[in-house]
Amino acid sequence: MSDASSGLPVCGVVGLGAMGMGIARSLKRAGLEVVGCDVSAASRKTFEDEGGQCVAEASALAPRCDVILLVVVNADQVMSVLFGDGKDKDDGLATQLAAGSLVIQCATVAPSVAEALGQRLDQAGLLMLDAPISGGAAKAATGELSVMASGTPQAFAKAAPVLDAMAATVHHLGDVPGPGSSVKLVNQHLAGVHIAAAAEAMALGLRMGIDGRALYRVITQSAGNSWMFENRVPHILDGDYRPLSAVDIFVKDLNIVHDTGRELRLAMPVASSALQQFTAASGMGLGREDDSAVVKVYAATGGVALPAANDESAQ
């Protein structure tokens, strides 16, 4: 059910968190009709106050939308939205969408989950684009995400105006669901390892008595730099752990990496080490803090003094 006046799809965005809200705003800014969906009344009100439309239940999107974007946390939430709780075969969104509707699956899930989901939606007469995203809340807000996408030509064609509105780069990685999630998993492997390594390196420098800001200036101009070091270390220097991407996200994603490696009989000791550090941070009660808070594991176990938010050196 495209917008009759424009011929453009009507989009339902399930999950109005930091990423989903940015995507919904970007789609709306591009002239697409958007209906947001979130269990949080506060998130719905935020989007409604900006002129957006919202519903509390995903099933309410079915009669209004022909493209659904799933910007939720994990595979369990994806399955719950699409297929319900299993008690009622008709309580999931997938059973209520019109034939030919498109599901754009943006959550980080195991490749095997994406493959099975694509087959299940195909059997239901629906299209699926396996389309995990990268770029964080800032890029979601500006419509400049990187999308790692795989799906049929029909799915890509129907998704085109949506992808144009939300992404700076769309990587076409295959003609069936699965490769998109596979590439995202490699990205999350590297991102988690690089954040953990950046935290460990800063802990080493601080423990040796090096001024943190001087260390940051040197490393960002040297061969040891990484995108994650450059992006996350300022959070440590400012003592600011408000979540842009939380510790528990990498507990989840690196567990998927670990499980996929086990399925493939591929040992990944570096990823496993990073997972242990994020798991330790979560166990310390830091799961909802910014992922850079993994540095606090070193503070707790290695006597590392971290900059505080009101520390003059962190201004």
Compute the distance between CA of residue 185 and CA of residue 260 in angstroms, rounded to an integer.
9
Q: Name the residue among 122, 105, 123 with its Cα closest to residue 114.
A: 105
As beta bridge partners, residue 69 has 13, 104
Distance CA 1, CA 67 (A): 9
Burial class of 120 by CB neighbour count within 10 A (0 to 12, 13 to 18, 19+):
middle
Is 45 part of the annotated catalytic residue set? no
In 3-state terms, what secondary structure has residue 131?
A: coil
The rounded distance, in Å, linking the Cα atoms of 126 and 117 is: 11
Selecting among 28, 139, 184, 296, the annotated active-site residue is 184
The answer to whether 192 touches 227, Cβ cutoff 8 Å, is no
Q: Are 177 and 105 in contact (CB under 8 A)?
A: yes
Can you read off the two tokens belonging to residue 238?
A: 């400012």
Enclosing H/E stretch for 48: helix 41-49
Catalytic residues, by residue number, are 184
